[in-house]
Structure 1
């Protein structure tokens, strides 16, 4: 990512040299060892072609300084890799979850489908009723198959390594402010190789432009 940011600023750099100097300076974030997925269980997860086709959701837990739990709802757009939302709360049940999604709908709209694990909040009656009423399809992954929700799992690992493990939250409000700042930085300032060196926000814009052009070309061909 450092190499992409330097190139983004106009510098000509060698990525191997940058990686070596970065490591020698001890600037790398200490990352957790991730559990290896058996080869037989590795199935590529198809990426949607447009924003708001599929969102992935999960919960990531942390604690404030006094030991109280923070339950972070993470929402990622599978197509653009945008962090649609990170909502830190002390607790969040199914009804609270649906209210969060309705708030997101006011500014972004709703996805055609949402992918989650089998957590009780995602399988609650409130969530099922909400999805049915709004025409949103729910994809539930198989138990103990986190690779079926690979986009959110990857994001959650980065979120923990780069944000949660790097801060000592004194209160829920402190966590909300820091986490929202990190989310905005992730979307707007973090280029990703998987997105052709663009940030998630820039990639979302490029998809929207392509979609608009295709729509215009389609209409023009009708005349």
Structure 2
């Protein structure tokens, strides 16, 4: 996650703790730390959220699931050798990029944060 106010609140930290969710924060001022998710979010918004009216929760779930299936099962991804993620995972091939950095909880990030 990035360091926006919605993600660094105590409420989010408590929710993550009680739900056994590990939050991984990008370094302040380093938007490239989460470039993959920023790219995904942009595509999801452009191709799905901005393209549909959701008339109900069921309608939203159906349309989002259809987009997700296309994204994961049919669409080739250049970063995965031009195969869909599902096929890439089945082949168990190594990624050509570094894995996303794991940093721990909000509390740990704040304790370890130093200005350089």
TM bin (shorter chain) = 0.5 to 0.7
- 1:121, 1:127 within 8 Å by CA — same for their partners in 2? no
* TM-score, normalised relative to structure 2: 0.64
Structure 2 vs 1, CA of residues 155 and 200 (structure 1 numbering), >3 Å: closer, same or farther? same
Structure 1 segments unaligned to the other structure (5+ residues): 1-115, 211-223
Instruction: Name the residue aligned to 2:48.
Output: 163
Structure 2 vs 1, CA of residues 122 and 197 (structure 1 numbering), >3 Å: closer, same or farther? farther
Partner Cα distance (2:81, 2:17) in 1: 36
Partner Cα distance (1:198, 1:122) in 2: 39
Deviation at 1:201, TM superposition (A): 0.4
- 2:77, 2:85 within 8 Å by CA — same for their partners in 1? yes
- 1:191, 1:198 within 8 Å by CA — same for their partners in 2? yes
1:165-213 superposed Cα distances (whole Å, 9 cap, x missing partner): 11111122211110011101110000111111110100011117x8xxx
Deviation at 1:143, TM superposition (A): 4.1
SS of 2:50's partner is: helix
The aligned length equals 90
Instruction: Name the residue aligned to 1:207.
Output: 92
Aligned ranges for residues 32-43 of structure 1 at < 5 Å? Answer: none
- 2:16, 2:23 within 8 Å by CA — same for their partners in 1? no
* TM-score, normalised relative to structure 1: 0.36
Q: Which structure has more RCO (C-alpha within 8 Å, separation ≥ 6)?
A: 2
- 1:187, 1:200 within 8 Å by CA — same for their partners in 2? yes
Partner Cα distance (2:54, 2:33) in 1: 31
Deviation at 1:124, TM superposition (A): 1.9
Which structure has more helix as a fraction of its residues?
Answer: 2
Partner Cα distance (1:121, 1:186) in 2: 33
Instruction: Name the residue aligned to 1:182.
Output: 67
Structure 2 vs 1, CA of residues 201 and 176 (structure 1 numbering), >3 Å: closer, same or farther? same
